[in-house]
């Protein structure tokens, strides 16, 4: 495999050096080809997602294929603007002259993707990398094998391997890839592996983006339309059976509305999935037995008020809501990444904010409140990758908003222009004229410091 991997990379280095990835027309052609392939192969991709995660077709279309097609359209439309060198001011000392920032592709980039949205989380970074003029090696997740195969086929039949190449495999393959030198690494997955990826990147001084997970709090104030809030929370939590990096991980509810909200969550879950969610075609499955066991283990000794049941052999776990009296529970330690929603009640906002501040910074924070002062305070006093007020998850579908974490939930961002910029080196260029040469800057320095202090603000 090592030989094959180094051959793939040297093939891509040649392709990149030929300059073929740089002309805007080539980039548009690549993005258009990807768009057509996604549209043509929609049935095959939906079938792969159904096989891996029993993803309901509507969820798969909305969150993977539809989202990607829309992002490609958005990028195609705006790329001419983003690609243009950005002119900036030139200080007096360097005039006559001009300054600009050129967006230069890094070269050969590695994208490592996870299993939960296996198509979207592979192709969204890939399309940003292509828009920026790079060659891409993609390593999809071995935990979504049907999607990995479908992706490999789609990319193989759409692109020259010098431009895009899929390398399928598990952690051994990922380690081998990381042993090679890339010009940029884009990783999406767990914190544990994220640290290994960053270490490997450091060996070659390769810049990297890490899109990680975390425990996303969902703070619910008392003065809200409870039914609408419950529907939006249940949708974001149980979409893809809770296996969403930006799903609300736990609820922090004002004690005065806890019971009402729990009842509304029960209603919403029944409205979405019927009285027996295992029979609903609209409810996904847990990715594999190991994850099912991990999630079932988290529920031990607890009494869910909604759901709780499951079937390991069919990888089914019911949409589950569990009240908690304290944060001292395994459910409040690790990211849940499944359809279990713990509910903690708070008495006052200080208490809730202290709980959030005492934990690593999450990928997303949700707040349900009508109170503008409270919203401002939560925005000011918390830090997270993104915030969505009065809804869950939907902030990530806006390509105008950069998507990424902060602190332990990741570093760097993408989507829309942020994706283009992530995969571009911002090269600073200054061009001087020979016309005028300010003597002041050359030795021997004759101007006294007193004078320099006065004039520097005009010169810089
Ligand atoms: P995973 O098991 O699919 O792993 C992710 C990728 O890392 C895979 O391609 C895998 O082969 C590779 N990998 C495994 N071991 C490796 C190693 N030693 N070195 C290098 N690569 C290795 O997915 P996961 O890690 O279970 O993903 C779930 C996590 O990802 C959750 O924490 C979730 O919150 C997070 N996530 C984050 C985002 C985001 O956009 N921020 C999106 C989805 C998932």
79 sits in which H/E element: helix 67-83
Q: What proportion of the chain, given as a percentage, has pLDDT over 70?
A: 99
Output the CA angle 389-113-202, nearest 5 degrees. 100
Joined together, the tokens standing for residue 302 give 């607890």
| Whole-angstrom distance, CA of residue 30 vs CA of residue 162 | 12
Name which residue sits closest to atom 17 of ligand 1, judged by CA.
171
Expressed in angstroms and rounded, the spacing between residue 384 Cα and the centre of ligand 1 is: 20
Q: Provide the residue ranges of all domains of the chain, joining segments of one domain with +.
A: 2-212+410-425, 217-404
pLDDT reported for residue 214: 86
Q: Is 186 in the pocket of ligand 1 (CB under 6 A)?
A: no
Q: Is 26 in the pocket of ligand 1 (CB under 6 A)?
A: no
Taking phi over 0 as left and psi of -120 to 50 as alpha, with beta for the rest, 425 belongs to: beta
pLDDT reported for residue 33: 98
Name which residue sits closest to atom 20 of ligand 1, judged by CA.
174
Pairing of strands 316-317, 320-323: unpaired
Residue 53 in contact with residue 243, Cβ under 8 Å? Answer: yes
* Residues noted as catalytic: 211, 245
Contacts 24+ apart (CB under 8 A), 351-360: 352/219, 352/252, 353/377, 353/378, 353/381, 353/382, 355/217, 355/252, 355/327, 356/217, 356/219, 356/252, 356/382, 357/381, 357/382, 359/215, 360/214, 360/215, 360/407, 360/408, 360/409
Other C-beta atoms within 10 Å of 282: how many? 14
Other C-beta atoms within 10 Å of 87: how many? 10
Position 57 confidence tier, pLDDT thresholds 50, 70, 90: very high
Expressed in angstroms and rounded, the spacing between residue 20 Cα and the centre of ligand 1 is: 31
Q: Is 109 in the pocket of ligand 1 (CB under 6 A)?
A: no
pLDDT higher than 80, residue 81: yes
Pocket test for ligand 1, best of 112, 173, 177, 189 (most atoms within 8 A of CB): 189
pLDDT reported for residue 439: 86
Pairing of strands 386-389, 364-368: parallel
Residue 306 in contact with residue 261, Cβ under 8 Å? Answer: no
Full-model pTM = 0.96
| Whole-angstrom distance, CA of residue 106 vs CA of residue 206 | 10
CB-facing half-sphere around the CA of 454: CA atoms within 13 A? 4
| Whole-angstrom distance, CA of residue 108 vs CA of residue 1 | 19
What does the pLDDT look like over 209-221, one tens digit per residue?
Answer: 999 998 999 999 9
pLDDT reported for residue 458: 86
pLDDT reported for residue 431: 98
Residue found under tokens 């993104």: 386
SS3 content of the chain, % helix, strand, coil (to 5): 50, 20, 35
pLDDT reported for residue 164: 98
| Whole-angstrom distance, CA of residue 38 vs CA of residue 49 | 14
Pairing of strands 250-254, 340-346: parallel
pLDDT reported for residue 9: 98
What does the pLDDT look like over 123-166, one tens digit per residue?
Answer: 999 999 999 999 999 999 999 999 999 999 999 999 999 999 99
Using CB atoms within 10 Å of the CB of residue 281, give its burial: 0 to 12 exposed, 13 to 18 middle, 19+ buried. Answer: exposed
Q: How many residues does the chain have?
A: 460
Domain 2-212+410-425 carries which CATH code? 3.40.605.10
CA dihedral of residues 403, 114, 406, 331 (deg, nearest 10): 120
pLDDT reported for residue 3: 67
Domain 217-404 carries which CATH code? 3.40.309.10
Q: What proportion of the chain, given as a percentage, has pLDDT over 90?
A: 93
Residue 105 in contact with residue 21, Cβ under 8 Å? Answer: yes
Residue found under tokens 């969820």: 59
SS3 233: helix
Using CB atoms within 10 Å of the CB of residue 279, give its burial: 0 to 12 exposed, 13 to 18 middle, 19+ buried. Answer: exposed
Distance from the Cα of residue 72 to its chain's centroid = 16
Expressed in angstroms and rounded, the spacing between residue 446 Cα and the centre of ligand 1 is: 61
Q: Is 198 in the pocket of ligand 1 (CB under 6 A)?
A: no
pLDDT reported for residue 460: 86
What does the pLDDT look like over 417-431, one tens digit per residue?
Answer: 999 999 999 999 999
Expressed in angstroms and rounded, the spacing between residue 119 Cα and the centre of ligand 1 is: 14
Name which residue sits closest to atom 2 of ligand 1, judged by CA.
114
DSSP bridge partners of 329: none
Residue 449 in contact with residue 157, Cβ under 8 Å? Answer: no
Q: What is the DSSP string of 7-43?
A: HHHHHHHHHHHTTTT-SHHHHHHHHHHHHHHHHHTHH
Q: Is 213 in the pocket of ligand 1 (CB under 6 A)?
A: yes
Q: Is 396 in the pocket of ligand 1 (CB under 6 A)?
A: no
Expressed in angstroms and rounded, the spacing between residue 143 Cα and the centre of ligand 1 is: 10
Mean residue pLDDT of the chain comes to 96
389 sits in which H/E element: strand 386-389
| Whole-angstrom distance, CA of residue 421 vs CA of residue 414 | 8
pLDDT higher than 70, residue 110: yes
CA dihedral of residues 173, 41, 105, 7 (deg, nearest 10): 40
pLDDT reported for residue 2: 64
What does the pLDDT look like over 231-280, one tens digit per residue?
Answer: 999 999 999 999 999 999 999 999 999 999 999 999 999 999 999 999 99
Name which residue sits closest to atom 40 of ligand 1, judged by CA.
211
Q: Is 363 in the pocket of ligand 1 (CB under 6 A)?
A: yes
Expressed in angstroms and rounded, the spacing between residue 171 Cα and the centre of ligand 1 is: 10
pLDDT higher than 80, residue 1: no
Residue 230 in contact with residue 268, Cβ under 8 Å? Answer: yes
342 sits in which H/E element: strand 340-346
């Amino acid at each position: 495999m090592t030989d094959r991997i180094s051959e793939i990379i040297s093939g891509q280095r040649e392709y990149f050096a030929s300059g073929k990835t740089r002309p805007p027309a080539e980039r548009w052609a690549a993005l258009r080809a990807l768009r057509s392939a996604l549209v043509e192969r929609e049935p095959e991709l939906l079938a792969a997602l159904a096989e891996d995660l029993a993803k309901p077709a509507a969820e798969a279309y909305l969150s993977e294929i539809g989202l990607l097609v829309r992002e490609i359209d958005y990028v195609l439309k705006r790329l001419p603007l983003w690609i243009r060198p950005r002119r900036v001011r030139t200080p007096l000392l360097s005039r006559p002259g001009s300054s600009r920032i050129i967006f230069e592709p890094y070269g050969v980039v590695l994208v490592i993707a996870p299993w939960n949205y296996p198509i979207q989380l592979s192709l969204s970074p890939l399309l940003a990398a292509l828009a920026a003029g790079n060659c891409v090696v993609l390593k999809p997740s071995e935990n979504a094998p049907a999607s990995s195969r479908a992706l490999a086929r789609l990319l193989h039949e759409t692109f020259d391997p010098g431009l895009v190449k899929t390398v399928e495999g598990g952690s051994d393959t990922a380690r081998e890839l990381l042993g090679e030198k890339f010009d940029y690494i884009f990783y999406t997955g767990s914190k544990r592996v994220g640290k290994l990826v960053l270490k490997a990147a450091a060996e070659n001084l390769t810049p990297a983006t890490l899109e990680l997970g975390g425990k996303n709090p969902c703070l619910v104030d008392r003065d809200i339309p409870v039914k609408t809030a419950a529907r939006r929370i249940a949708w974001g939590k149980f979409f893809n059976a809770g296996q969403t990096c930006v799903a609300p991980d736990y609820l922090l509810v004002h004690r005065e509305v806890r019971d009402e909200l729990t009842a509304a969550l029960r209603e919403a879950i029944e409205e979405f999935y019927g009285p027996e969610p295992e029979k609903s075609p609209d409810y996904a499955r847990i990715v594999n037995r190991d994850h099912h066991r991990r999630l079932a283990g988290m529920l031990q000794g607890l009494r869910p008020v909604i759901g709780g049941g499951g079937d390991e052999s069919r990888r089914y776990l019911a949409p589950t809501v569990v009240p908690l009296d304290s944060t001292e529970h395994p459910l409040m330690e690790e990211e849940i990444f499944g359809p279990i929603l713990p509910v903690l009640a708070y008495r006052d906002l200080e208490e809730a904010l202290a709980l959030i501040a005492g934990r690593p910074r999450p990928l997303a924070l949700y707040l349900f409140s009508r109170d503008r002062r409270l919203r401002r305070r939560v925005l000011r006093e918390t830090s997270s990758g993104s915030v969505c007020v009065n809804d869950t998850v939907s902030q990530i579908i806006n390509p105008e908003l950069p998507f990424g974490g902060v602190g332990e939930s990741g570093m760097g961002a993408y989507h829309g222009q942020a994706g283009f910029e992530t995969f571009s080196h911002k090269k600073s260029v200054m061009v001087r004229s020979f016309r005028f040469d300010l003597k002041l800057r050359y030795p021997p320095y004759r101007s006294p410091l007193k004078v320099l202090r006065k004039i520097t603000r005009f010169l810089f």
